[in-house]
Each structure stands twice: as C-alpha cells, then as structure tokens.
Amino acid sequence: MKAKYIFSGLLAMTLVSSCTDKMDYKEYNVHDKAYEEKMFERVGGLMTEIYNDIDYDFSNYSGAMSSSATDESVYSHPGNAIEDFYNGAWGPTNAKERVWKSAWDGITYSNLVLDEFNDCTFPEYTEDEHYQQQMFLYKNYRYEARWARAFFYFELVKRYGNVPLKTRTMTANEANSLPQMPADSIFAFIDKECADIQDSIIVNYGDLGDMSYYKAQTGRANKLAVMALRARAALYWASPLFNTKGDKSRWLKAAQLSNAVIAEARQEGMGLLPDYSKLFDKDSYKDGIKEIIFARRTTASNAFEKYNYPIGIENAGGGNCPTQNLVDAYEMTNGKAIDEQGSGYDPQDPYKNRDARLALTVAVNGENWPDKAALETFEGGANSSSVTYGTPTGYYLKKYVNKGTIIAKTGSNSFTHEWVIFRLAEFYLDYAEAALNYTGSGYTAPDGLPMTAAQAINVVRTRAKQPNMATGLSFDAFKKKYENERFVELAFEGHRFFDLRRWKEAPQYLKNIRGMKITRLDDGTMKYEEQTIATRTWDDKWYLFPFPQKDALNCHLTQNEGWK
C-alpha cells in the first residue's frame, strides 16, 4: 500500500538484482543529501519506494498465485511458471527470486533513510505554517524504516534461513563480504527492532490531533503493524522448520506476543469485522479498517479479475481455481467435518449447509458469478475444463475478486486492491497454535495468558457462525482441527505456502490434488464425483528457497541444503 507521499523521480535508476544492489547511494543516480533537505516530499519519496518494495500476491507468477503451488488451487493454464515449485524445475539458476530482489532493495532504501536522511531539519521551511506537523511525520520515518527493514528480513529468513545482515549503508564490496547469519540471529534482530520501536512509532495515523495535516495517512506502519510483525516472526521461529530442538519457550513467547497484538487491538477499538467478505473487496481499506492491521494497496487495475474470472467471460483467464482439497476443508454448519459421522453431508448436494466462508471464497457450479449467468462447470459446460483454460477443479476463485469489475473490451473499469498482510483474525489463530504447542492441550491456557487455544479459535469461528471447537480432543486431533481452521480462514492470503513449510508437513498435504467432476444427466440434474486431478512429488530441500546462483557466488553464500 502506498504511503501518502508520491514518489517523484527521486530515485530514477535502473534496478538491478543481487545483494550488491544499491549498497552505496552515492554510486547511483540519487540526488545528494543537500538536495533532499530542500523538500519534505523528496524524503517522503524514499519512504514510498520502501513501501512499494513490500510484496503482494495478486497473481505474481504470470497470473498464478502462490496458492497454486499448494493444495489451495490449480492454475488453469498448463505450463505456467508456478509449476516449477512442484515439478522440480526451480533451483539456483531458476530461483524464483522476486522477493529476494525486492527485499534487498527495501533493506537498502531503509538503511539509506536511517543513515543519511534521519536528522534533516529543513531550515528553509521553518516558517511554513505546517512545519511542525510535517516534522512530526518526518521524524516518524525512522521508525517506519526500521519496521520495514525488519519486515524485509522476515520475508528473507522465512524463505532462505541464514542470510547476511546489512544494517547500514555500505559499498558493494562491503556488502559482498558480509557473512551469512544464522536464522536465529535474524529472528533475534527482527524481535529487537520491533521491541525497540513499537512504543515510539505513531499509534494511529487517523488520530494525530494537532499534528494532523495530510488528509490520507492509510497504508503506513503503525504500532500494531510493528507488534504484528514481531508476533508473526516469533511464531515462525517457534515452528519446527526453525525450532529444530523443540524449544517450548519459543511457543510461549509467540503466544505472549500474539496476545499482546489482540490486547492492543482491543484497546484501539478493533475487532473482527462481522462481514468476512468486506476484508477483501475494493473498499477494504475503508470497510475493513476495524480488523485489518496492515495492507498493501495496489493501483487501480482489472488485471486480477482478467486472470481469475471464469472462462467463457470476455477476456477472462480462468486463473487460480480452488481445489477440492480446500472445498472439503469447509465444515458443515453443525461444526462437523464432511466425513465425520452425523455431519449430514450429501455428496450429491455438496454445498448445502456448509461453513459460510465457502460461499465467500469459492464459486461453484450453478452459481451466478460474477454476473447473472449461472456457472457451468459441469463437463461440456461453458465454463468447464472442456474449454481451453477452463477450471480443472470444477471451481473458480471469489476471494479478492471484485465482481463489479468489467473486463470486456467495451466499458471496462478497474479498482484498487488491498493485499492483506496483517489482520486481527490471524493473531487469534497464531495465539491458538502457540498455546496448543506450549501446553500440549487445546483446553489449557499458558501461565499468565487469558485464553486457551480453543477459546482463541472460537473467536474466529463465531464470526463465521460456526459452533465452538469440540471438547475433549487429543493433542493430535486438536492440531488437525486447528490446521483446518487456518486453511479455510486464511485461504488465498499467502499463508498456506509457508505454513506447510514451517510445520514441515508439506508431503502429507501437497501430493494429491483433487477436483470435482460434474456430469449433467439427461433429466438436467447433476452428478458429483470427487477425483484426483494431479499427483505431485515433494523434495525436502523445497522447505527453503535456493539462493540465486549469481548471488551465491558473488556474495559467498553457502547454498541451502540440497540445492548445490
């Protein structure tokens, strides 16, 4: 999401890749400090560039989302680059390095703000009537930049593990000589940075009192964004991928930090938004403000809809089609899994009496989506796999897709999209996971904390109008229920790809991908048959990303295990 200030050519340069990029701002076409001091907005432009380096997942892989490298969805265009993640075609020479590039860029800009533009006084503007307000916001940049730097390091460590730690502006040669730091040290850096700044950064940009001047202050990191980053990083650090010795104290810390996010959010009048769908539509930055902690806003576009509208609509691409794996994860309204005794599930009326989040996430056969035409995903139907690029699973994506978007050649329109990075519901789930793993029970609260894992999950389930968690579940049964709850609540928000990796549970979920075969019978009724549509392999080296080969060589990085 862009900051208020508009990037105005301040850093018009060629962006190149690798950890050597832009290590010394004087080596590139960047105006010097004296020039920057002449205009508040010029320094603000650096912050805009930092925010612009925050990644989002609106079809990053030529239309595909990371969900289509998991059991959430299948991309309807065979041969797409997303397949590299599960067919073994990625590696050091095909390293999927989008975030590797953007994170190092963001770290470099953050260091530049902190080292070179941290103490400007703008003497030529002291008589400006809004000088005090502008300086108030300017001084906050140092905390925003530290948050951003920590955020980028989290994006790196969760993908790569051990990475260099660059905390100041330096030359390319200096940067190339930095040693890799253990993942534990990177997580410790993130934790300390967030702890240091969370009580100094602005709490609420919408309530600046006498310091308010700019009308729009959305999309900037505030206190809750800092606390959210710290809590999520703690959860990852406690997870099996990084917590190789099973240190339970890490789970306790993760629970404490997630609880702190929840408590701070309550204090600021936040809670779960009653309407789940409002978190992901075109006005989510307004309607979702009650729950959304931080989101990345894009410019107005209809590209996401072009990628994901059902085949059969003019200019539509079919896109990221939800799997039967995901659809089956949605419980019945009585709280039972579809394969659980007494659930009432009817295989020939499979979408009846299901968790309301299913209908808000997945478009099914016969549904009027995105317009008044009923979807025909049955074999031979207008939107089916019988049509080139039609759904291979029997479903289409609704979440994040704005059905008011017109993508036809005539009369097309476009809207902004908000990629939700932190929202409150996640931290109830994060708390539940940490509490469960620390206490060994879904029904025992960690010492000094107010909720059991079940109580935290029930907050999320209540919004969905689902019954409370069942009582008396064993640790393993509760864990399975928790993971299922996280699957459906956070579907298509970029979590699944990394959850299965940090849990080290990818093989059990990612090998068999299922869809729904629908046949229209002579009497017009439909016959539903689940089927396996893909059988995939898994290699444990995929738990971490490979370092791009050129950077592994230039920066003397030890390649991650299995990728050499």
462 lies in some domain: no
Alpha-carbon distance 304 to 205, whole Å? 29
- Looking at residue 6, what is its pLDDT? 25
Alpha-carbon distance 3 to 291, whole Å? 20
Query: What single-letter DSSP state applies at residue 331?
Result: P
Phi, psi of 426 (to 5 degrees): -55, -40
The pairing of strands 163-164 and 180-181 is antiparallel
- Does the structure show a pLDDT above 70 at 252? yes
- Looking at residue 215, what is its pLDDT? 54
> What does the block give as tokens for 103?
């994170």
Contact by Cβ (8 Å): 357, 275: no
Burial 380-414 (b: 16+ CB within 10 A, else e): ebbbbbebebbbbbbbbbbbbbbeebbbeeeeeeb
Range scoring the smallest mean pLDDT among 1-5, 68-72, 360-364, 401-405: 1-5
Q: How many alpha carbons lie under 13 Å from residue 487 in its C-beta half-sphere?
A: 24
Question: What is the rounded average pLDDT for all residues in the chain?
Answer: 91
Query: What single-letter DSSP state applies at residue 281?
Result: S
Sorted by sequence, the CB contacts under 8 Å of residue 426 that are 6+ apart come out as: 232, 490, 495
Structural domain count of the chain: 1
Alpha-carbon distance 409 to 315, whole Å? 8
Contact by Cβ (8 Å): 141, 47: yes
pLDDT interval class at 34 (50, 70, 90): low
- Does the structure show a pLDDT above 60 at 505? yes
Summarize pLDDT for 289-307 with one digit per residue, the tens: 999 999 999 999 999 999 9
250 lies in some domain: no
- Looking at residue 445, what is its pLDDT? 98
Please provide the DSSP assignment of 27-38 as one string. GSS---HHHHTT
345 lies in some domain: no
Please, what is the angle between helix 131-160 and helix 223-238, to 10°? Answer: 10
Alpha-carbon distance 552 to 188, whole Å? 24
Average pLDDT over residues 503-510: 97
- Looking at residue 31, what is its pLDDT? 52
28 lies in some domain: yes
Average pLDDT over residues 425-430: 98
- Percent of residues, the chain, with pLDDT higher than 90: 82
Average pLDDT over residues 409-434: 97
pLDDT interval class at 131 (50, 70, 90): confident
382 lies in some domain: no
Phi, psi of 532 (to 5 degrees): -80, 125
CATH of the domain at 153: 1.25.40
Q: How far is CA 184 from CA 187, 188, 236, 373, in A?
A: 5, 6, 11, 53
The pairing of strands 292-297 and 418-423 is antiparallel
Average pLDDT over residues 473-484: 98
70 lies in some domain: no
Summarize pLDDT for 253-266 with one digit per residue, the tens: 999 999 999 999 99
User: How many of the other CB atoms lie within 10 Å of CB of 428?
Assistant: 26
Summarize pLDDT for 197-251 with one digit per residue, the tens: 999 999 998 888 888 876 556 789 999 999 999 999 999 999 999 999 999 999 9
- Does the structure show a pLDDT above 50 at 310? yes
- Looking at residue 216, what is its pLDDT? 54
List the domain range (segments joined by +) for residue 160.
1-52+97-216
- Does the structure show a pLDDT above 90 at 393? yes
465 lies in some domain: no
Alpha-carbon distance 316 to 396, whole Å? 12
- Percent of residues, the chain, with pLDDT higher than 70: 92
Average pLDDT over residues 353-368: 98
166 lies in some domain: yes
